[in-house]
């Protein structure tokens, strides 16, 4: 098959990450047709570091030159870019959330029904998540009893996100609930089923900055789901667990990538082929880009739908509104 021409809007952390993954791990799947960012410094950084990558002079030029548009800009710009890409007949992969305003996201989801558009939740291509799914199918959990999500950070934004504080640490677009918890809500929907928010608490102790603590109670049918998140409660840059317990046993995803099963001795045992996120990420991103190519060709793919992304966003914004 021929490679897919992928255009990128946004040369920040996520845009550059997918760009490099495409070049280093999926050059047989996608070809970068162009990248653009409104910040001249960001464009100059890409041009200096990767001189063979076409740096466009406008968002319109990126759309014109691609088959699939990847939107990696801050959330407030997502819908305008997505509409532009779809109007030009391009497939679209959008970072989450779809929009800052859930009402605008709902309108957009209704508008684009049937279009070639997906949202970039990499857990859709995660090897660890695939292992959890296999364990569930094999009866390792049985009837679920509880589901617990915990996320913790030494500081926010995380160390590798320095430089993006202007939006990532602001209550309008940023915060760990949007950036991190959303991934585990997506995982919940994929493996457990549709969820609803029952109650929540969130703390914004520093004026003008994003939340520093959040907790929530949700339900998946009769299954209770608890969420705990906080900044400053761990020395780790980023620590998280998604734990499903049932009548037959318990399984979890730890630190983004490591699938583990609770042994009879009460000790968590990783899957035989489990690997830390740093090693797993290139494989996951290649699988994600393969799925992007399939979507662009109109084929079946596992990427997150806009409906799934909207369900996540509704709960995230519900939590953040519970001040």
Mean pLDDT confidence for 290-314: 98
SS3 of the chain = CCCEEEEEECCCHHHHHHHHHHHHHCCCCEEEEEEECCCHHHHHHHHHHCCCCCECCCHHHHHHHCCEEEECCCHHHHHHHHHHHHHCCCEEEECCCCCCCHHHHHHHHHHCCCCCEEECCHHHHCHHHHHHHHHHHCCCCCCEEEEEEEEEECCCCCHHHCCCHHHHCCCCCCCHHHHHHHHHHHHHHHHCCCCEEEEEEEECCCCCCCCCEEEEEEEECCEEEEEEEEECCCCCCCEEEEEEEECCCEEEEECCCEEEEECCCCCEEECCCCCCHHHHHHHHHHHHHHHHHHHHCCCCCCCECHHHHHHHHHHHHHHHCCC
Same domain for 98 and 232?
A: no
Task: Give CA separation, 180 vs 2, 72, 153, 258, 308, in Å.
Answer: 34, 16, 10, 16, 16
pLDDT of residue 43: 96
Query: Contact at 8 Å (CB) between 78 and 104?
Result: no
pLDDT band at 154 (very low <50, low <70, confident <90, very high): very high
What is the CATH classification number for the domain harbouring 34?
Answer: 3.40.50.720
pLDDT of residue 189: 98
Same domain for 135 and 103?
A: no
User: What is the residue-averaged pLDDT of the chain?
Assistant: 96
Query: Contact at 8 Å (CB) between 191 and 154?
Result: no
pLDDT of residue 45: 95
Same domain for 65 and 191?
A: no
For residue 179, give both structure tokens: 């950036």
pLDDT band at 273 (very low <50, low <70, confident <90, very high): very high
pLDDT band at 323 (very low <50, low <70, confident <90, very high): confident
Same domain for 228 and 269?
A: yes
pLDDT over 80 at 304, yes or no:
yes
pLDDT of residue 173: 87
> If 0-12 CB within 10 Å is exposed, 13-18 middle and 19+ buried, where does residue 279 land?
exposed
Last residue of a domain, one of 95, 119, 143: 119
pLDDT over 80 at 66, yes or no:
yes
Residue positions counted in the chain: 323
Q: Which of 32, 24, 37, 135 is nearest to 77 (CA)?
A: 37
Confirm whether 95 is domain-assigned. Answer: yes
Query: Given CA atoms 75, 80, 81, 82 in this order, what sign does their dihedral have?
Result: positive
Query: Contact at 8 Å (CB) between 303 and 115?
Result: no
Confirm whether 295 is domain-assigned. Answer: no
Same domain for 131 and 182?
A: yes
pLDDT band at 160 (very low <50, low <70, confident <90, very high): confident
Same domain for 40 and 177?
A: no
Cα gap 208→205, rounded to integer Å: 9
Last residue of a domain, one of 85, 119, 153: 119
Confirm whether 289 is domain-assigned. Answer: no
Mean pLDDT confidence for 173-192: 96
Total number of domains constituting the chain: 2
Query: Contact at 8 Å (CB) between 212 and 204?
Result: yes
pTM: 0.95
Same domain for 90 and 51?
A: yes
Same domain for 154 and 206?
A: yes
Confirm whether 282 is domain-assigned. Answer: no
Summarised one tens digit per residue, pLDDT across range 67-101 is: 999 999 999 999 999 999 999 999 999 999 999 89
Summarised one tens digit per residue, pLDDT across range 106-121 is: 999 999 999 999 999 9
Confirm whether 253 is domain-assigned. Answer: yes
Confirm whether 296 is domain-assigned. Answer: no
Sheet containing strand 68-71, strands side by side: 30-36, 4-9, 68-71, 91-94, 117-119
Mean pLDDT confidence for 202-225: 97
What domain range is 248 assigned to? Answer: 124-275+311-320
Summarised one tens digit per residue, pLDDT across range 231-267 is: 999 999 999 999 999 999 999 999 999 999 999 999 9
Confirm whether 298 is domain-assigned. Answer: no
- Label residues 122-135 b or e (16+ Cβ within 10 Å = b): bbbbbbbbebbeeb
Same domain for 139 and 271?
A: yes
Same domain for 71 and 139?
A: no
Task: Give CA separation, 255 vs 74, 240, 243, in Å.
Answer: 25, 5, 12
Last residue of a domain, one of 78, 104, 119: 119
pLDDT band at 159 (very low <50, low <70, confident <90, very high): confident
pLDDT over 90 at 41, yes or no:
yes
What is the CATH classification number for the domain harbouring 234?
Answer: 3.30.360.10
Same domain for 95 and 129?
A: no
Same domain for 147 and 255?
A: yes
Find the distance separating the first CA and the last CA of the chain, reported in whole Å: 51
């Amino acid at each position: 098959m021929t490679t897919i021409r992928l255009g990128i809007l946004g040369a920040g952390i996520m845009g550059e990450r997918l760009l490099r993954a495409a070049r280093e791990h999926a050059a047989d799947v996608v070809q970068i047709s162009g990248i653009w960012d409104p910040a001249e410094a960001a464009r100059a950084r890409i041009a200096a570091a990767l001189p063979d990558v076409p740096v466009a002079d406008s968002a319109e030029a990126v759309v014109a030159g691609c088959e699939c548009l990847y939107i990696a800009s801050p959330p407030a710009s997502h819908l305008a870019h997505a509409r532009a890409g779809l109007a030009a007949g391009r497939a679209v992969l959008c970072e989450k959330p779809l929009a800052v305003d859930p009402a605008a996201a709902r309108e957009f989801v209704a508008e684009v029904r049937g279009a070639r558009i997906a949202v970039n939740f990499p857990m859709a291509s995660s090897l660890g998540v695939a292992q959890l799914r296999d364990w569930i199918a094999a009866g390792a959990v049985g009837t679920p009893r509880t589901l617990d999500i915990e996320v913790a950070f030494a500081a926010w934004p995380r160390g590798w996100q320095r430089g993006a504080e202007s939006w990532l640490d602001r209550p309008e677009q940023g915060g760990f609930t949007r950036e991190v918890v959303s991934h585990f809500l997506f995982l919940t929907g994929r493996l457990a089923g549709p969820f609803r928010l029952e109650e929540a608490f969130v703390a914004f102790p520093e004026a003008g900055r994003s939340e520093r603590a959040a907790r929530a109670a949700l339900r998946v049918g009769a299954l209770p789901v608890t969420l705990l998140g906080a900044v400053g409660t761990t020395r780790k840059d980023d620590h998280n667990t998604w734990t499903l317990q049932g009548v037959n046993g318990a399984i979890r995803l730890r630190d983004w990538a490591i699938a583990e099963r609770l042994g009879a001795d009460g000790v968590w045992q990783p899957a035989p082929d489990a690997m830390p996120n740093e090693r797993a990420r290139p494989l996951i991103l290649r699988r994600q880009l393969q799925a992007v190519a399939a979507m662009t060709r109109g084929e079946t793919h596992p990427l997150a739908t806009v409906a799934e992304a909207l369900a996540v966003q509704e709960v995230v914004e519900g939590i953040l509104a519970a001040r």
